[in-house]
Chain A
Amino acid sequence: MAKAIKISWEETPEDYVARVRDLVEREHVMAARRLVQEARPRFPQDPVLARWHEILSPAKLLGRSPASGVDRTPEIHWLDAHGAAYRGEWVAVSGDRLLGHSKSLQDLMALLDRNPANPRPLLHYIPD
């Protein structure tokens, strides 16, 4: 694991950001986090460092709710049996029913908005 790079006090936020970007691109994420943590108290108003702080943060909990998952075994079986006919397309499947298919996910989602399904469908892309 790479260590955070110590930067002299004469360095600027841009210097920090350049080093953070370099660490991120080399996948040294923990080192990049440490560097941002080091930089932010020195430059608390810097918007770029603030964005990197957000980007590099671990996932945060936004909420919890009672389980509302749908058993997708029927959808998986349908896709395995019939999906090959829709290569290169997104399909929307609910239970063992095909609700729609399109090369454009946006078009498919617009179709579903006009025709809401219950339970909600599983969207799946079938590669060529």
Chain B
Amino acid sequence: MLLRGRAPFTTGRSRFADHSPAAKDPTAKIYVRVAFEQGSEVLAQLDTGAAWSVLAPDLARALGVSAPAGYPARMRTPLGVMNGYLVRLPLTLWADEGEDLQLDGTFFVSDNWPDGMTFLGYSGLLDALRFAVDPQANDFYFGLPTESW
């Protein structure tokens, strides 16, 4: 994987999709492969500009995640202010090379958010990860230092 000096900087590499397949608006973005439980691999948009990660409400329902498991919150989103809840969830970042990474992160869930749209945002997820993107090869490199808060 990627090294900084002789030490690992990232520990996994996966191919990312550079558009949302079959979307009417196929603008270039980064969609990485994640799973919230075994067998439920989905594409999630990497968005360093988003304060929080967002879990699609239908995916939350399918995973059995509901408001009592989280903490009520009201968030500003690109689609307006939404009421929902923040919840801590385990997820897996799949690697094609190196190591899969299992971690837990914080997601905002709102029934007002559109179905099918899951974002990996900064606080509570990306701010703990090391990651790098090779846009020529559509490669996403990732790893997680072991320091804790």
Contact = CB atoms under 8 A, between A and B. Distances in A.
Given A68-B94, A123-B41, A57 B149 contact: yes
Nearest to A63: B102
Interface residues of B, number: 62
Interface residues of A, number: 53
B124 A55 contact: yes
Nearest to B96: A69
B41 A125 contact: no
B144 A59 contact: yes
Interface in B88-107: 88, 90, 94-106
Interface residues of A: mostly helix, strand, loop or mixed? mixed
A72 B17 contact: yes
Given A27-B76, A56-B124, A61 B146 contact: yes
A27 B108 CA distance: 12
A109 interface: yes
Interface string B118-149: 00001111111100000000000000101011
Contacts of A122: 33, 41-43
B107 to A, nearest CB: 10
A124 B97 contact: no
Given A55-B124, A57-B124, A127-B116, A69 B33 contact: yes
A55 B86 contact: yes
Interface of A: 21, 24-25, 27, 29, 33, 51-52, 54-73, 75-76, 79-80, 82-84, 86-87, 90, 104-106, 109, 112-113, 116, 120-127
Interface of B: 11-12, 14-15, 17, 21-24, 33, 38-43, 51-52, 56, 58-59, 61-62, 70-71, 73-76, 86-88, 90, 94-106, 114-117, 122-129, 144, 146, 148-149
